[in-house]
């Protein structure tokens, strides 16, 4: 096991007009402090992520690299349309986070590569991004279900939307059919209710010690309804 947390070349934050680049060895506590006024949804996620002691040791690259199906950061990185930069001694590759995850705890990372950074495009002013987590306890608990959502609404019509879930499949996964249904439709309760019914058929989650399959399906719909309620202003 190699600890990358003290390698300064990948422990950085760079911000431009269009994007924020986060070095992979940033601790989650450092990221929590930075994102408070920059990436609010990320800050809210990290505020209920483990304990401060763990956040001081855990790194962004480590959390992303595990490719856990119940990861909290991955659904939100999907919603932010983030990209992952991989490097080795003579080349680099950049890819959408959705392409980086290839299967259950599997990624595109090659044996001679490391995760260099996570690139997050700055959200547009008319884009709303939220993160939600369901667990047995509010703090210090593994997610039963998590969701990273993004919506851009123009004249009450959905222009762009991402509904990404953790804990609903063997990998972090978008509700693609539900997204397609909502796209170019009015952002109104009637359409959300129909989307919730569609969402039940998007996934076939497992039943485990944290919850049953039916609970996860119902909870996913409830999170979508909560997202609508908080964005329908």
Q: Give the global pTM.
A: 0.95
127 within 8 A of 85, measured Cβ to Cβ? no
φ, ψ (nearest 5 deg) of residue 177: -65, -40
Question: For residue 67, what are the contacts with CB-CB under 8 A and spacing of at least 6?
Answer: 74, 101, 103, 104, 105, 106, 107, 171
In a 3-state reduction of DSSP, which class is residue 164?
A: strand
> Using CA atoms, how far apart are residues 154 and 213, in angstroms rounded to an integer?
35
Structural domains of the chain, ranges and CATH numbers in brackets: 8-121 (3.30.465.10), 127-231 (3.30.390.50)
**9, burial (CB in 10 Å: exposed 0-12, middle 13-18, buried 19+):** exposed
In a 3-state reduction of DSSP, which class is residue 171?
A: coil
Reported as a single tens digit per residue, the pLDDT across 96-124 is 999 999 999 999 999 999 999 999 999 99
> Using CA atoms, how far apart are residues 11 and 65, in angstroms rounded to an integer?
16
Reported as a single tens digit per residue, the pLDDT across 122-157 is 999 999 999 999 988 776 678 899 999 999 999 999
């Amino acid at each position: 096991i190699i600890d990358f947390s003290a390698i300064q070349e990948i422990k950085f934050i760079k911000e431009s007009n269009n994007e924020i680049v986060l070095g992979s060895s940033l601790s989650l506590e450092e990221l929590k402090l930075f994102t408070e006024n920059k990436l609010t949804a990320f800050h809210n996620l990290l505020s209920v992520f483990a304990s401060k002691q763990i956040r001081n040791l855990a790194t962004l690259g480590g959390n992303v690299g595990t490719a856990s199906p119940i990861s909290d950061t991955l659904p939100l990185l999907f919603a932010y349309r983030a990209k992952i930069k991989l490097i080795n001694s003579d080349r680099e590759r950049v890819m959408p986070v959705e392409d980086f995850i290839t299967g259950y705890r599997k990624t595109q990372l090659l044996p001679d590569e490391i995760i260099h950074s996570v690139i997050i495009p700055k959200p547009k002013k008319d884009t709303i991004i939220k993160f939600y987590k369901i667990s047995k306890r509010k703090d210090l608990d593994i997610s039963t279900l998590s969701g990273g959502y993004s919506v851009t609404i123009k004249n009450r019509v959905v222009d762009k939307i991402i509904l990404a879930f953790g804990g609903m499949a063997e990998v972090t996964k978008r509700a693609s059919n539900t997204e397609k249904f909502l796209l170019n439709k009015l952002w109104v309760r009637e359409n959300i209710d129909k989307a919730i019914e569609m969402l039940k058929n998007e996934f076939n989650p497992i039943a485990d010690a944290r919850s049953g399959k039916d609970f996860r399906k119902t909870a996913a719909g409830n999170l979508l309804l909560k997202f609508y309620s908080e964005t329908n202003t």
